[in-house]
Homo-oligomer: A and B are copies of this chain.
Amino acid sequence: MEKDSKTISGDTEVKTKDGFLLSEVQEGSSKSSRPTLAILGSGDYSRSLAERLVRSGFPVVVGSRDPDRNRRLFPQGAEVTTRHAAVSQADLVFVAVHRENYPDLQADREALADKILIDVSNSTKIRKGESNAEYLAKLFPASTVVKAFNVVSAWTLSSGLSGGSKEVFVSSDDHEARQTVMQLAKEMGFAPVDYGSLLASREIEAIPLRLLPSWHLALKMSFGAFVFLLLYTLYRGIVFKAIDGQPDIPFQHIPVHYCNRALAGTAITILSFVYFPGVLASFVQLYNGTKYRRFPGWLDKWLLARKQLGLLCLFVASIHACLSLLEFSPAYYGRHFDKTTVTADGGVVFGQMRWSGETFLLFGALAFFLMVVLGVSSIPSVTNAMNWREFTFVQGKLGWVVLLLATTHMVIYGVDIFVSPFLFVSYTIAGFQITLILPAILILLKVVTLLPCVSSRVNRIRRGWERKVPGREETPNDGCQGDEMTSL
């Protein structure tokens, strides 16, 4: 039901002053203010795409080879017709068919000329050379091909918009067409990212095939630390005893008791991995005497893996906490408990924890729950609600507090056996001593960077100062903003 009364006070010239918000109302006469969009193909993806476009307020026409059969699959508000009829009504055409069916579309080549074809396709394998979008562009030289939306799944298209926008990567050789499709993506509730020319479609098509690329380094480092510490623990607890010919090798204690010791060490090692590269970066900058030289590649990668390392640390620490709660009893932690005794009348008086037991547990629990706070602040929508100072306070300062608490937790845990001769029976030092080496070095280095003479020079460098360089460059805003990549 369109109403005639809906022409707001007349002439366009006067109204354009009111700007672009109302422009479509004022300029439009009585019909739709948005361009009709065509979709070729009638699979699940077309269906979800049509639904999203209708919900975003666009007139949609779907071109299907068998419109009569497929009509009922599409939402109300989307017109389903033949391919040719669909293409003729729209300037923007979504190509939602398989790559192998692209040639079939050439029947409508003339209708598609001078139009924007949006290639939304994905591959199941990484393809060398020509991308799907480039192939489409070769088949339709008179049309403008834009690669976009391939990172968005049918499920994302049909689910709601709340919870923040998903990024959509857009590339095309035609700048105008790219802008148009980026604007369209924004209208549909996505966050478009400009990837430049159609050559970039190769990269864009590879994105959905990636499996957590930002996690690879962090996973490798964490897994490496765990394997080393597990083997070390098992050597001391099992292998050495077997070689030594001791009776009753405690194989049954591998799953919880020995795993838990390895996990404890892994957690604090990963935590050190989180804060090491930041400290190293300070020393590299001190050595270089400038911040305008790039860090070595390995340090750059390590700096970028810190968030993932932190989250893996939380995961490992969670399992460690859980297993510790399960085995925490005089059966395993006898030296942290008073003796349990039997009274003359057959009653049992249980031994309570000693000061060392209670203290190392308190430090462990505090470290763990502060780490949970760090983890929660890494959830994207929580991060967004914090300003930079708050974020660095939580991830930086609080993070160092966690490291200190966790280190103290381990030191107190082993305080009574630090120099026990029993430790050296297997010609090695205890696992918890091994794992303390890294945090100790890290804390030492951090203390060095906090010395006034060192920290003032680091700060000057981070504000743009350079050692013995003739043409000093201007620096960014006079705050800490420029330094955050290395300031944690």
Contacts and interface: CB of A to CB of B under 8 A. Distances in A.
Copies per complex of this chain: 3
Query: How many interface residues does chain A have, given as a range?
Result: 35 or more
A477 B150 contact: yes
B393 A211 contact: yes
A246 interface: no
A100 interface: yes
Given A34-B21, A164-B164, A173-B1, A476 B96 contact: yes
B212 A390 contact: yes
21 contacts: A3-B144, A16-B27, A19-B27, A20-B20, A56-B192, A57-B192, A65-B473, A97-B474, A98-B464, A100-B478, A150-B477, A151-B387, A154-B482, A161-B193, A163-B381, A163-B382, A208-B481, A209-B389, A252-B354, A319-B369, A340-B350
A184 B464 CA distance: 28
Interface in A8-35: 8-9, 16-25, 27-35
A25 B114 CA distance: 12
Contacts of A482: 43-45, 154
A120 interface: yes
A453 interface: no
A113 interface: yes
A91 B473 contact: no
Contacts of A351: 331
A388 B348 CA distance: 56
Interface string A173-202: 111111110111001010111101100000
A4 B278 CA distance: 50
Nearest to A101: B474
B388 A208 contact: yes
A376 to B, nearest CB: 8
